[in-house]
Each structure stands twice: as C-alpha cells, then as structure tokens.
Chains A and B, each alone.
Chain A
C-alpha cells in the first residue's frame, strides 16, 4: 500500500481502501484525507463539458435588464466590472473580474485540457502545471457567492423598478450547482496518478 499524508497535520499512513464515493478521515486531526471517486475523470469531464457551454451562454447573452419610468438599461455578466472601472474603482473591478469570470473560466478550460486527453489515454502538453493551476485558482473562484450578491441586489431594487431576468442569469444559476458537483467528484489523487503513468 502506498503511503499517503494528511495535508492538515502531516500524519503519514498507509492508504486505506475506501469504497467509491466514500471519504477517508484523518484519525489524528479529523481532516478529510481524500474522497474516492474511481470514475472521477469521466464524471468531472462530463460535468465540465456542460459547465463550459453554460459559462459561454452566461457570458454572451443579456444578464439582467432594469426598467424605470420607461427607461431600460441592459447588462451582461461583465457590465459590473466595466462600470466599476469607469468609476475609477480599478482594484475592485479587477477583483470582481478575477473571482467571477477569469478564475472560474480558466478552471473550466484547464480541467477540460487535462481530463479530455486522460480519458482518451493520452497526456496533454503542460498537463501537470495546468492541473496545479486548477487547485491554485480554487479559492479565487466565487461564482456561488456572486449569485447570492445578485439576489440581494435584486431585492434592494425590487421596489424601485422592474427587473427582467435574461437568459444568461438562468445559465449562471444552473452553472453553480454544476461546478459544485464537478469539484465534489474531482479526486485529485487519481488524476495525478493517471498523469504520472503517461510520463
């Protein structure tokens, strides 16, 4: 049995056999050692392909429209970033751009780039650093938090004007559970091992 380590307390143990879908918990610190998903490559790949389509729809189509006394203003997902930038809030604009569009978009792209060739029995160029970046970007992808922010903003506006949700908003709302389940099914240990085999 290979040795595995707990990344939270550094305990080293022999890898336990865990049924599919189960998790191994560290005896010492209570942290999750890993969650086993034997079909991780195929499941995550399938979810990521659908996520990629929804991500494109969410970015290409109107997000929300806002009507007050006959005046209509329409927005897309990136309108907020553009408006913040125009109001000289460059740092905030950059932070919103990173957390709602760049980080999740790059994560989707890189995961497809890594997992597709593994599924076909090959290894893509730069797959190792690509997969490293998927994990590094993870804390900065905050689309789920953004959805709550949208909800709060809509409540604040509801007494002031009429809000017309666009197709991109529905795509975005579907994208969030999809991304969450894709990452729940991602078993990095198996991906790293399959990358290692095709050296």
Chain B
C-alpha cells in the first residue's frame, strides 16, 4: 500500500481545496495559476504564504490574549453598584454558585482553548519550518483538534451579548460590554484565521521529499 501511495503522490497532481477534485497537472505547468474544472475556485497545491500568514495571525492573537484576560469584559450594575467582570472572575462566580460543570466549560472554552490553540499552532509551524519528520500522524491529529475546538472560545462573547440584551433597567440593573470583550473577540477571530491559514499538507512534504 505504501508503495502504491508513493507512486501516486509523485505523479504531478493538484487537489482543489474547495471541492476536493484531483486534477493531473501537465508537466511544465506546475507553477502556473490553475482553476478547478469542477467548482472554478483557484487551485493552490499548497495554501499561499501559509507559514508567514499563520505566524502573523498567531502573533497578533497572542498580543490580544493579554488585554483580553486583564481588561474587564463587562460591567454589571446592580442597585447602583457597578462591578467589573473579567473572564476569570466569571468562572469563579459560576464555581462559587455551585455550577461547576458550567464553570469548567467556560474555563476550558475561554482560557485553555485559546492558549492550546496558540501553542499548538506555533508547534506545528515550527515543526514544518524545521522540516521535522517527527510523528506526522500525531501532528495531523493535533491540527484537527485545533480546528475543531477553536469556535467554542466564543462562549464568553455570547454570554456578554445575552446579558447586555436582557439587562438594561438603568440603575436598577444594567450590563455594559467593556474593552476586554473586543480583545477577546479579536483573539477568537485571529486564532480561527490562523488555523485556516495553516496548510496541514506541509507536515507531509518533508516526509515525501525524503522518501522520493
């Protein structure tokens, strides 16, 4: 099986990232711009500028991660007393009220997931840049995990959204979104763009080059 796989991967082909159609590329045209014959999307053998784009989004997200956790994401006013909430104080609140399953969900979604995404993507990009041959299957699973969990970080933004919509009764009770919400939203969007920019096929290029 491995032998037949290698013979196929050495054949010049390009795969459409949008509709997954496999096309054979005539010799000499490997670098020419191609369009998919089935869905008309531009075909790239690898995502363009994958590594530098991923780096750019990861660094921007890491910078935003700091104010996202330090600044309050909302101010809750109850009976005239304003009280600032950060991401972590929100988790503590849920925990103290005995809602530990929800506290765990929010903690994992808002604190652990963005951090794991950043660390995971940096590890993937560095391993590709060093043309590493170390456990490609596990690195491929890591990328799938990063892609799958990223969206759950939005939970805190939605909590603020619902509270802001429901609670606006003046000094009796009101909720205002704060700067932390903006930075936290930026972290979610930037990490999503980072994982979309990374091309997992690059993990396998070092292995193919050595085998071929």
Contact = CB atoms under 8 A, between A and B. Distances in A.
Interface of A: 2-5, 7-13, 27-31, 34, 64, 66, 68-69, 71, 73, 75, 79-84, 87, 89, 91-92, 95-96, 99-100, 128-129, 131-132, 135-136, 139-140, 142, 145-146, 148-157, 159-161, 188-189, 192, 195-196
Contacts of A142: 151, 154
A8 B200 contact: yes
Given A91-B182, A92-B182, A155-B94, A132 B165 contact: no
A140 B177 CA distance: 22
B203 A89 contact: no
Contact of A152 (B38, B102, B152): B102
B172 A71 contact: yes
Contacts of B182: 89, 91-92
B164 interface: yes
Interface stretch (B26-34, B55-63, B121-129, B135-143): B135-143
Interface string B182-205: 100110110010001000110110
A192 B167 CA distance: 47
B20 A5 contact: yes
B40 A192 contact: no
A12 B23 CA distance: 10
Interface residues of B, number: 67
Nearest to A63: B165
B106 A152 contact: yes
Given A29-B136, A91-B186, A192-B21, 17 more contacts: A2-B22, A5-B13, A8-B201, A9-B203, A9-B204, A11-B8, A12-B13, A13-B8, A73-B166, A139-B151, A142-B154, A148-B109, A149-B157, A152-B102, A152-B106, A157-B163, A188-B20
Contact of B165 (A4, A83, A192): A83
B1 interface: yes
